[in-house]
Amino acid sequence: MIVTRFAPSPNGRLHLGHAFSAIVAHDLAQANGGRFLLRIEDIDGARSRPELAGTFRADLAWLGLSWEEVPTQSSRIDEYEVAAATLAAMGLLYPCRCTRAEIAAVSQQAGPDGPIYPGTCRIDPPSVDEAVAWRLDMGAALSRTGSLTWQDEIAGEQQARPDLFGDVVLVRKDEQTPASYHLAATLDDAEDGVTLVTRGTDLFAATHIHRLLQELLGLRVPRWHHHALLLDESGGKLAKRRGSPALSDLRLAGEDGRAMADRLRRGEMPAGITLSQDLHISA
């Protein structure tokens, strides 16, 4: 059975880009007699606003979608800690004191997530009283797994290239946000039985890391469906930080959510909004 999911973070209201992503996941499940899940990814530290979860549910219902709700990320902290401990016991994690500014100042390579970490704390470990994040030793991890592939429903089979990211953070310094997106989303999808991970092409490259973590932790490997993004008039993707119109504002203004969902399905974008054409498949 196909199982898809929509996993918003309650650090801002949903916009049309979220609506499109939810509709894609919902319709793929419905068309195949499967299940569509809603998961609230609520471990974004102080930015997380629990009250928005109710707004998300109202927005999805307004669009005419139905779903099954699964546990929130905040209820799964113990599972993230167990996974991190497993990787540490395998000798694959090391502590890192470095800030983003320090990394940007010394890094000589750029990866999909920004400057690649140069391995400073592998050479000069932090002291025991310093606040640290925990990074994945990418070279050691790849030595353990060997070559990996993953399957995208649109782009086809992909060679996994997690090395493009360097030594990524899996456990953050901030105790309010204990697990990175990479670790939490990978574990959540496995726990929820997701068989088809649907998300925007902006997260295409992240799948290289997720495929590696699945192999290291012995998790079931799903397939992926990276869909196009909705772009604003400037060509940037719709985003909370860019002030994209919120679904709740449209809903409260009396617009017909089901009709809007049907227009998005047909590719009829509102004025000023276009659908991206590229798949961002090269990291």
- Structural domain including 114 reads 77-171
Angle (nearest 5°) at CA 240 between 97 and 256 = 150
**Residue 170 to residue 43: CA distance in whole angstroms:** 14
Residues 69, 88, single domain; the answer is no
Last residue of some domain: 124, 140, 171?
171
Residues 100, 134, single domain; the answer is yes
Q: What is the pLDDT of residue 130?
A: 86
What pLDDT digit, counting tens, does each position of 97-151 carry? Answer: 999 999 999 998 999 989 999 999 998 999 878 889 999 999 999 999 999 999 9
Q: Is the dihedral of CA 40, 187, 114, 272 positive or negative?
A: negative
**Residue 7 to residue 185: CA distance in whole angstroms:** 9
Q: Alpha helices, DSSP H only, in the chain?
A: 16-31, 52-62, 77-89, 100-106, 120-123, 138-145, 181-191, 206-217, 247-252, 257-265
pLDDT under 50: residue ranges of the chain: 280-283
**Residue 47 to residue 240: CA distance in whole angstroms:** 12
- Of the candidates 113, 197, 216, the one whose C-alpha atom is nearest the C-alpha of residue 158 is 197
pTM assigned to the model: 0.93
Q: What is the pLDDT of residue 243?
A: 64
Residues 199, 140, single domain; the answer is no
